[in-house]
Chains A and B, each alone.
Chain A
Amino acid sequence: MISNKMIGKSLPAWKIAIKLLNELLVPLLWVPAVLFTILPCFKPAEGSNSRVVHSLIAIACYVVIITVKVIHGRLKKEGKYTAYQSRIVSKLDLANLVPLFVLAVVIAFPFYLLFVTSIKSPIEANSFDFTWWPKQGATTQAYNEIVVVESVIGITMTQAVINSFVYAIIPNVIGLLASAVAAYSFSKLRYRGRDAMYYMLIMTMMMPGCVTMATGYLMFDWYGWTNSPLPLIVPGLFGGAACIMFLREFFMGIPDGLLEAASIDGAGRWRRFFSIVMPLAKPALMAQFILGFISSFNDYMGPLIYLNNPSGYTVQVTLDFLSSAVMDNSLVAAAGVLALVPMLLLYIIFQKTILKGISISSGLKG
């Protein structure tokens, strides 16, 4: 909608046209311009003149963009020209929206491909022709095969998901409790050597994992744990340094007066912890738990190194081994969807907590 009040009476139609071109056409034109700049970098098929054609299209796009921009720049210096505003056009702000939209499609598209491949028939999923949707009809055959039947790997996908959940929940729940207790003692209790212990703990975060990767295996072999999920679960039970740092910061914000009041009422150290500190820290704890759970569930290296028994595989290793054992893409895609769905559901339900948790645990303000 163009409101008449805002158009200067002296502004001719062609100037409005330039303004509209600048705001509507140019952002859209950037898409083919970039596309046809990249494409000629590839080697054209034999007998195809696509390189020339595409280069010309790209050049044409750039010429139009530059012309409009130059005229627009000239006109901008006239005062009345800038006063003109179309409300819808400025609300849309295509120059901003088009690149965002294109990038969002690029981000989302692999997920679409994963899903579509999983419902294709095996023949179509593995054919050399790419299809955008299941032309031979959608089928849930691939899901039936991996959810119910034991795959070549020797485990059903259902069992793998259950395993992943168990390995991710146990260390995260108990580890979070340990972290919270430690963070409480570092922030609200007083004892000799407290700060020294805390800084020692912070130091451990700096140790890069690449150093202990090889000898970690030696150690767990020495403990006799290498064919069990214990190496994935037990180290997490003691809490994590980053988590403690974050929770300590949070507990410091709880006023001492609150705890003092409780202690006057006769609450002991742990009573104060469980009935005052923990309920207050619930959102922080929740964020830490979800983030920890996601990273445990998605862990690949640990399970790859330590799990050798098929019945104990996690989702991630099952998926990896499945993709190298079977040549059927629809099976791999279906397994991928199953590995993805729990995390996506978690994300949809706890989006706010996750996003907030990330920006808080970075320790930056904001």
Chain B
Amino acid sequence: MKRKPLRLGRETQFGGFLSGSIPLIGFLIFGVIPLVLSAVVSFSELHSTDLQDMEYIGWENYSTILTNGDKYTYASYWSTLLYALNAPICIALSLWIAYMINRSKIGKKFFRSVFFIPYVCSSVVISLTFKTMLYRYEGGLLNALLEKFGYEPVGWLIDSPWIFMLAAVVMTVWAGLGWCIVLFQAALANVDQTYYEAAKLDGASEAKIFWKITFPAISPTTAYLLTMKLIWAFQSMAEMHLLAGTNVTPAWGDSAGWVSDTVVKHIYNMVFVRSYEYGYGLASAAGWILAIIILIITRINMRTQKRWVNYDF
């Protein structure tokens, strides 16, 4: 019997539609509901999980945050911006390391494996290791080294908000290197070697080769990393939460207590620790404002990337 050749996908449409809609159903149940709820709740006051207690108050939550009505909430945006500095630092450092690994004649795989280890560690393990073994005031590694060299110990997490922020950023950079290095290495290995040969023949210096060939060639990767890392940095919470502890007012007192509170950590506090003071309404509004800030920064990021990212290589 001669069969007519089948065109793929001419069978009943229903099965395909059903299988394609599984993730969308999941998103409808677990994504859309909290999203709509969040939009509604952000215009009202709600201090318990009982939705009947919701009280409509209009734009008040947003105006409270934007006009510095609550100094902790307002300040948390600045500390988030400060903390997000870890993204560009991490990218610059990992580019340097990836470049060195790529040039290294021995132990390429070894170095890459070592630098990647922190990626598989949870933020809890990393934060607690840093908190109890490196940043500890008495008996911590850093202070032990300082004392050995004849300096006074530093209270890394308790002395001042700036040192705390520095400690947090250093830790986050340390933890984030591996992921960036892997992507940079893949990009570096992909650069066409003929460009290098041509440049060497022309007698270009190493620095010139890097900035004129290597950097433009891997700029799509750099741009991708910058976008993703910034989005993550703005939404991170675990590191700060673990380093500063759950106490709402940090050790250095009220005056500059803002630094350890990133927005997401503050949202967590507003909902789960001090829900009578703040509640779900303000927390949702804070979340929306952060989302808009992330959107704006990502837009700016994309716009400026047109100037320095080169997709022609």
Contact = CB atoms under 8 A, between A and B. Distances in A.
The answer on A and B forming one complex is yes
B152 A44 contact: yes
Q: For the side of the interface on B, what is the size category?
A: 35 or more
Interface stretch (A1-9, A14-22, A63-71, A94-102): A94-102
Interface in B93-129: 97, 100-101, 103-107, 111-118, 120-126, 128-129
Contact of A344 (B120, B174, B264, B267): B120
B38 A211 contact: yes
A333 B132 contact: yes
Given A218-B49, A333-B133, A100 B97 contact: yes
A49 B151 CA distance: 9
A50 B150 CA distance: 6
Given A212-B31, A221-B49, A238 B38 contact: no
A113 B151 contact: no
Interface string B9-42: 1110111110111111111011101110110010
Contacts of B111: 100, 104
Given A117-B133, A214-B38, A301-B237, A316 B122 contact: yes
B74 interface: no
Contacts of B29: 238
Chain A CB count within 10 A is highest, among B26, B38, B112, for: B26
Contacts, number: 326
Contacts of B134: 110, 113
A80 interface: no
A286 interface: no
20 contacts: A39-B151, A99-B100, A100-B97, A100-B107, A109-B141, A130-B139, A181-B19, A190-B13, A190-B16, A191-B9, A198-B20, A201-B27, A211-B34, A219-B33, A235-B30, A260-B6, A300-B122, A344-B120, A359-B182, A362-B183
Interface of A: 39, 42-46, 48-51, 54, 91-93, 96-97, 99-100, 103-104, 106-111, 113-114, 117, 126-130, 178-179, 181-182, 184-186, 188-194, 197-198, 200-201, 204, 207-219, 221-222, 234-235, 237-241, 244, 256, 259-260, 263-264, 268-270, 294, 297-301, 305, 315-316, 319-320, 323-324, 329, 332-333, 336, 339-340, 343-344, 346-347, 351, 354-355, 358-359, 362-366
Interface of B: 3, 5-6, 8-11, 13-17, 19-27, 29-31, 33-35, 37-38, 41, 49, 51, 97, 100-101, 103-107, 111-118, 120-126, 128-134, 138-141, 143-144, 146-147, 149-152, 154, 174, 177, 179, 182-183, 186-187, 189-190, 220-221, 224, 231, 234-235, 237-238, 242, 245-246, 263-264, 267-268, 270-272, 280, 283-284, 287-288, 290-291, 294
